[in-house]
Amino acid sequence: MIDDEHNASEFLEKMLKRYFPNKFHICKTCESIDDAVEAIEEYQPELVFLDIQMPKKNGFELFKEIKNINFEVIFTTAHSEYAIDAIKRSALDYLLKPINYVDLLGAVNRFEQKNKKGNQEKQLNILIENIDSGDTAHKKIAIATETGFEFVKFNTIIYSEAQSNYTKFYLTDGTSVTTSKTLKHFEELLPVELFFRIHKSYLVNMNFVKRFSKTDEFLAELITGQKLPVSIRKKDEFISAITQKTNA
């Protein structure tokens, strides 16, 4: 456990012992990133509960100092919407403080079901890229698939299509990725300065929009040749957004 607030670590420890008896052995509780690096190297834990907001070095600094990331991470935080967005895009787990039993149970269950092998380090690398990079287009998102995760840069996503409760991503290299998450889920994760929900079934990357047609029906034509419908209620907002982006 890594948290500069002793009361927070103590509370989480009590919850783990109460609700998951004999399931966890707490190797070490640390109040700083420097102490945590030493403890991780010594104990080689399977799971780390990591607070984000700490003095001197925040939680994300940990991954710049650990050479081999062979453990799972559950972030704990009381705030920082920006950090939560980065964590979600990396498909990593987190708990909002004050931690409650339902959220903790879900996180523990997901930890027990995970068998991603090398994916954990890739997800953490994406998290650091998303935190550090000032260029939104070159940030990445982790897309969960049946076999693991696909790690995709924002600027390689042409558009996404809703297919019932699934979402299909169409990429610049001609491939596609399908995930069981809904289009609404990704609409909330992907940056609004790049992506626009033109229709209940389509979320487009504005960088790939070539023209907007309003002859017989409202259509967004992409530079790849696809023509996607724009809903009537989204028309004015889309025109405003694409105009602002073009003139920026």
Of the listed ranges 54-58, 137-141, 153-157, 219-223, the least confidently predicted one is: 137-141
Which pLDDT does position 230 carry in this prediction? 96
Q: Does residue 9 carry a pLDDT above 80?
A: yes
**What is the per-residue pLDDT across 81-111, written as a single tens digit (0 to 9) for each?**
767 888 988 888 999 999 999 999 999 998 8
CB 70 within 8 A of CB 44: yes
Q: Does residue 247 carry a pLDDT above 80?
A: no
Which pLDDT does position 121 carry in this prediction? 78
| Confidence label for 133 from pLDDT (cuts 50, 70 and 90) | low
Q: Does residue 23 carry a pLDDT above 80?
A: yes
**170 or 69, greater pLDDT:** 170
Q: Where in the chain is the domain with CATH 3.40.50.2300?
A: 6-131
Q: Does residue 185 carry a pLDDT above 80?
A: yes
Average pLDDT, the chain: 90
Q: Where in the chain is the domain with CATH 2.40.50.1020?
A: 141-247
Q: How far separated are the first and last CA of the chain, in Å rounded?
A: 46
- State the CATH class of domain 141-247: mainly beta
Which pLDDT does position 118 carry in this prediction? 59
**Mean pLDDT computed over 204-218:** 90
The CA-atom distances, in angstroms, between 248 and each of 63, 193, 244 are: 36, 11, 6
For the structural domain made of 6-131, what CATH number should be given? 3.40.50.2300
